[in-house]
Amino acid sequence: MTVAQSKTQGSPASQSATELEYEGRWRVVVLNDPVNLMSYVVLVFKKVLGFDETTARKHMLEVHEQGRSVVWSGVREKAEAYAFTLQQWHLTTVLEQDDVR
Amino acid sequence: MKRIEVKLALPVVAPLLDVIKGMADGLRQNLAAPLAPLDLDAEFSAAWTGELLDAQNADVQALLAMFNDEFFSEGIIAFDEDNAEPIVRATAAIRLRLREHYLKPLGDETLESGNVELDRLDEPLRKAFMCYLFLATIQELIIQHLDSSILDS
């Protein structure tokens, strides 16, 4: 198993707690850095998240101007996979739990 | 297969390779981008970091392989559909490392704008900033000419 695939394994005792902890929606947030080129960030968003050019540019500008952009939200496992791949492309990425149900 | 060849001025670029090699060495055990906390348990976090490091090292090797015999004899480097993606990622990694180790005194606003008077910088800082610009140029070239190869791969 690779990190990008899944985390949801563990002892049966810890399973239910883990499941509860990882329930709900999670946001994948990309943070600004002063190094990566705008064209590079657009490429990464298109490649990793499947955005079209317009959407990728919109999120890139959000990162650049507001310091952060929520690029995806959904289940924890998939959010981790996106975060891992974005980090592989050297974008600073965090996960945040979405409290709105 | 689409292939882009770039002829570089050897006397200008060759001296930058020591800096690039030094940054590459530093990336063997360290991630280029700070790893923001993701609320992972220790074991999973170690596996996560290890896989990122392995991928980063493979990318950096692809970048270093660009400076082969053809570069040292003719000044030519080449990108194609096979090496474009790892090289574009490796340039990002080394630029991030350059900022961390050399370029912080310039300030982030200056780095983002690129407005730097090279003549006013001392030798190590000037060389590091030239590397930073050189790697950005490589990255731009790849994105300009091979982005469809990267997106389709």
**Taking each helix axis from N to C terminus, what angle separates B42-65 and B17-26, rounded to the nearest 10 degrees?**
160
Residues of chain B contacting A80 with CB distance shorter than 8 Å: 38
Instruction: Please name the residue ranges forming H helices in B17-83.
Output: 17-26, 42-65, 69-74
Q: Tell me the residue range of the domain where A70 lies.
A: 24-98
Quick one: which of B59, B78, B85 has its CA closest to B151? Answer: B85
Tell me how far apart the alpha carbons of residues B76 and B33 are, in angstroms, rounded to a whole number: 30
B91 vs A99, residue with greater confidence: B91
Residues of chain A contacting B39 with CB distance shorter than 8 Å: 95
Q: Chain B interface residues facing chain A, Cβ-Cβ under 8 Å?
A: 31-40, 44, 47-48, 51-52, 55-56, 88-89, 92-93, 95-96, 99, 108-109, 111-112, 136, 139-140, 143, 147, 150-151
Domain count, chain A: 1
C-alpha Rg value of chain B to the nearest Å: 16
pLDDT per position as a tens digit, A49-74: 999 999 999 999 999 999 999 999 99
Is the Cβ pair B36, A40 closer than 8 Å?
no
pTM, rounded to two decimals: 0.89
Residues of chain A contacting B150 with CB distance shorter than 8 Å: 43, 47
Average of pLDDT values for B67-73?
95
**If pLDDT is split at 50, 70 and 90, which confidence band does A3 have?**
low
Average of pLDDT values for B95-106?
95
Quote the ipTM score: 0.94
pLDDT per position as a tens digit, B47-65: 999 999 999 999 999 999 9
Q: Tell me the residue range of the domain where B102 lies.
A: 3-152
Candidates B33, B35, B140; nearest CB to A37: B140
Domain count, chain B: 1
pLDDT per position as a tens digit, A6-40: 444 444 444 455 555 567 899 999 999 999 999 99
* CA B132 to centroid of chain Cα atoms: 8
Domain with residue A66: its CATH number is: 3.30.1390.10
Tell me how far apart the alpha carbons of residues B71 and B69 are, in angstroms, rounded to a whole number: 5
Average of pLDDT values for B57-74?
96
Tokens in use for A12?
A: 């049966």
In a domain? residue A19: no
